[in-house]
Chains A and B, each alone.
Chain A
């Protein structure tokens, strides 16, 4: 029995007459102190998978279990970090973290709570913004505040739902390092969802791709056998990194192609439109953004 496990799980929505399967036959087992990355395209049901693991959603069929017990409701031991921060906008960063600490450690005194809050806020290097409201922060700072709140729950499993998707490349790499540092100094189980292959290879022990939805399922996993700590600057020279990256990328692209082929039997009737004149108008407006959306039939 593994630490965190999904067994033959299906998730479907809608009325019985018109049921849509989001996830199908999901089998995942995560060992203690393992860092697992789940990689998939947007819209494939990654967030639903995360909700399953955190207990926010229950499977339609199959079972989800944590430490051998079925997951019936969410709780602080399964610390989820939401994709869209979910910071309470009327509370400052410090108060957001304190709210979590108050729940998990109800017996602490006020000063102890404050100290603990500072500890977690410092962990994500946000101590200068303790008294700021979420709307006064940048996206990256909000993401870090959210991480700090999740860490303050002292969860046994850290569930990160695309924690870095909304960030620019620089902030992203900085936060990746921070998460890795925290994980390495204070080992615990992590399940991270991402859509970035580099990120997955850099951070995870194991990478599990999620196929395209609807009816998405987990496909064959990739084990990352690279020594830690991994250095992002020298990573590009490591053949193992390059191999994994290209293999996973190829696999994912294959998935994408496969799904397109599945859809290609649906032919959309295109209007028979022919240009009358190829010469450019005097002040030619640019329609490139429109073209990519409407004219090429196989885009997306």
Chain B
């Protein structure tokens, strides 16, 4: 009995903390689900679930599968064919994700050594044989399907072709008959007979018109045939996609194998070591210039080994790596901007003269587009780091424990500064507003307590304006995230923007689908960033706090 009561109490506590968490994160559509789980007014909850979960899902479904797949895909054409359907977009996502897994596997293979490497090599060889087999099967299926499709197409084309031939024949015959008629008339004309000449002219005109008409008719039928011929059979395309998939897998497995064997780090080092050992043996038996040469090549080999030991697998950058680098870049810029914006905003709010002093700068720089900032900043940053690989600051950044892998370079710094410059205005304006609109009573409290400037700042001004500051930070982060993608695209700083640009330049058949995938990735990350800021904003808010939006 007692345990039952205590469980009920705990369950209730969980319920309220769940609801509170939902409220703080602003994910209010989850609240009716929680309430329903606790059996609270099921009818009301069902209604709310219908309204806030099912209706949006239906809307997404209709937009994606009915409007987009049904109409838009068929209406618009691009250079590389139709727009990607939703299933194609999803498979593009899969392939992007697969690429990421492959790169990780490759890196692992490159660093594998000893017994493990041998084992893995065996596994891979088995996989390669089976993959070759699958590829062969797939290719055969494609061939078969090609034949079938060709036969089908021929069957479809045959009646129209017959119609076309018939048309051609009849037109030819009619044209010949007209020619004969015209010739006869021309021969029968006596010079000076105007009426007869006019009649001939009329006949020739009619013949020309008839020819054009016939030609059009013929072309129309020809087009029909071409349409059937160019139509891609869905079955064949499916087989071809399978074939491509298997050939891609096989290509990956083969690279994987080379990374385990000929290009493997430990293997190469071992080889060099062996070489050194033989050289050393040879050195013992040499003298004079030959000995010096040998000794030099030993030292040379040794330096190669030490370089190889430090080296890392240099694969292509995958989407998740780029996403992480973009998020790092946006936060770098965001913090940089906030460190400037909050103090300036506070002084603007405190002092009207300072505000007046800052107004021209704010008014002029605020509307400047990131596209203008970026090249200027890129030039400045490149000027500051003329030789970035050797610069001590860059080397320091490269050796940082968690950030080292992201290879911070001038392009990254320029992107971050652009983000900072474009995003700091919202924070600055909101901070100034928050500080300027502090409750007069609270300032009176500060006066009665005779708080000094610093105590006033930390005890009254900042806590009181925090809700508005965080509202500004939230807007800034949103702006920064939008700006960043453009900045990365322009500066080709490794990140989501670069991924989009690479795909744009790549122009392969699935580039467009991959870019659409990026749309969703960017959107979802932006949403998460916004939610994080909302949580912070709610945590620093107090009852009766001033708020925007």
Binding site for B on A (CB under 8 A): 54, 56, 73-76, 78-80, 82, 84, 86, 88-91, 99-100, 103-104, 133-135, 153
The count of chain B contact residues (Cβ–Cβ below 8 Å) is 21
B289 in contact (CB, < 8 A): no
Chain B residues with CB below 8 A from A86, complex form: 439, 441-442, 444-445
User: Interface digits, B380-407 against A, CB 8 Å rule (1 contact, 0 not)?
Assistant: 0000000000000000000000000000
Do residues A90 and B448 form an inter-chain contact, with CB atoms below 8 A? no
Do residues B441 and A133 form an inter-chain contact, with CB atoms below 8 A? no
**In the complex, what residue of chain A is closest to B459 when comparing beta carbons?**
A99
Chain A residues with CB below 8 A from B37, complex form: none
Do residues A80 and B448 form an inter-chain contact, with CB atoms below 8 A? yes
B450 in contact (CB, < 8 A): yes
**In the complex, what residue of chain A is closest to B460 when comparing beta carbons?**
A88
Chain B residues with CB below 8 A from A153, complex form: 448-449
B545 in contact (CB, < 8 A): yes
B447 in contact (CB, < 8 A): yes
**In the complex, what residue of chain B is closest to A81 when comparing beta carbons?**
B448
Pick from A88, A90, A133, A135: contact of B445, CB under 8 Å: A88
Do residues A79 and B543 form an inter-chain contact, with CB atoms below 8 A? no
Query: Once the chains are docked, how many angstroms separate the CA of A134 from the CA of B466?
Result: 17
Give 22 CB contacts A-B under 8 Å.
A73-B450, A75-B450, A76-B448, A78-B448, A80-B448, A82-B441, A82-B445, A86-B442, A86-B445, A88-B459, A88-B460, A88-B463, A89-B542, A89-B543, A90-B540, A99-B449, A103-B449, A103-B450, A103-B451, A103-B455, A135-B542, A153-B449
Query: Once the chains are docked, how many angstroms separate the CA of A133 from the CA of B542?
Result: 9
Write the nearest CB–CB distance from B470 to chain A, whole angstroms: 13
Chain A residues with CB below 8 A from B447, complex form: 56, 73-74
Chain B residues with CB below 8 A from A99, complex form: 449, 459
The 7 A-B pairs of least Cβ separation, nearest first, read A135-B543, A86-B441, A89-B542, A90-B542, A103-B449, A90-B463, A74-B448
Pick from A54, A88, A135: contact of B448, CB under 8 Å: A54
User: Interface digits, B431-452 against A, CB 8 Å rule (1 contact, 0 not)?
Assistant: 0000000010110110111110
Chain A residues with CB below 8 A from B427, complex form: none
Write the nearest CB–CB distance from B462 to chain A, whole angstroms: 10
Chain A residues with CB below 8 A from B450, complex form: 73-76, 103
11 additional A-B residue pairs with CB within 8 Å, beyond A73-B447, A75-B448, A133-B543: A56-B447, A82-B445, A88-B442, A88-B459, A88-B460, A89-B543, A89-B545, A90-B540, A90-B542, A99-B449, A135-B543
**In the complex, what residue of chain B is closest to A78 when comparing beta carbons?**
B448
B423 in contact (CB, < 8 A): no
**In the complex, what residue of chain B is closest to A54 when comparing beta carbons?**
B448
B544 in contact (CB, < 8 A): yes
Chain B residues with CB below 8 A from A103, complex form: 449-451, 455
Query: Once the chains are docked, how many angstroms separate the CA of A103 from the CA of B128?
Result: 77
Query: Once the chains are docked, how many angstroms separate the CA of A34 from the CA of B39?
Result: 63
B92 in contact (CB, < 8 A): no
Chain B residues with CB below 8 A from A56, complex form: 444, 447-448
B464 in contact (CB, < 8 A): yes
Query: Once the chains are docked, how many angstroms separate the CA of A86 from the CA of B442?
Result: 6
**In the complex, what residue of chain B is closest to A56 when comparing beta carbons?**
B444
Do residues A90 and B441 form an inter-chain contact, with CB atoms below 8 A? no
Do residues B460 and A135 form an inter-chain contact, with CB atoms below 8 A? no
**In the complex, what residue of chain A is closest to B540 when comparing beta carbons?**
A90
Query: Once the chains are docked, how many angstroms separate the CA of A103 from the CA of B448?
Result: 10
**In the complex, what residue of chain A is closest to B466 when comparing beta carbons?**
A90
Known contacts A86-B442, A90-B542: A79-B448 contact under CB 8 Å: yes
Write the nearest CB–CB distance from A155 to chain B, whole angstroms: 9
Chain B residues 523-549 with CB under 8 Å of chain A are 540, 542-545
Write the nearest CB–CB distance from A50 to chain B, whole angstroms: 11
Write the nearest CB–CB distance from A59 to chain B, whole angstroms: 17
Write the nearest CB–CB distance from A129 to chain B, whole angstroms: 15
Query: Once the chains are docked, how many angstroms separate the CA of A98 from the CA of B543?
Result: 20
Do residues B441 and A100 form an inter-chain contact, with CB atoms below 8 A? no
**In the complex, what residue of chain A is closest to B445 when comparing beta carbons?**
A86
Query: Once the chains are docked, how many angstroms separate the CA of A170 from the CA of B203?
Result: 117
**In the complex, what residue of chain B is closest to A96 when comparing beta carbons?**
B445
Chain A residues with CB below 8 A from B442, complex form: 86, 88
Chain A residues with CB below 8 A from B466, complex form: 90
Write the nearest CB–CB distance from A146 to chain B, whole angstroms: 10
Query: Once the chains are docked, how many angstroms separate the CA of A79 from the CA of B447?
Result: 11
Query: Once the chains are docked, how many angstroms separate the CA of A54 from the CA of B447?
Result: 10
User: Interface digits, B453-497 against A, CB 8 Å rule (1 contact, 0 not)?
Assistant: 001000110011010000000000000000000000000000000
Write the nearest CB–CB distance from B244 to chain A, whole angstroms: 61
Query: Once the chains are docked, how many angstroms separate the CA of A100 from the CA of B542?
Result: 20
Chain A residues with CB below 8 A from B449, complex form: 76, 99-100, 103-104, 153
**In the complex, what residue of chain A is closest to B545 when comparing beta carbons?**
A89
Chain B residues with CB below 8 A from A82, complex form: 441, 444-445
**In the complex, what residue of chain B is closest to A150 when comparing beta carbons?**
B448
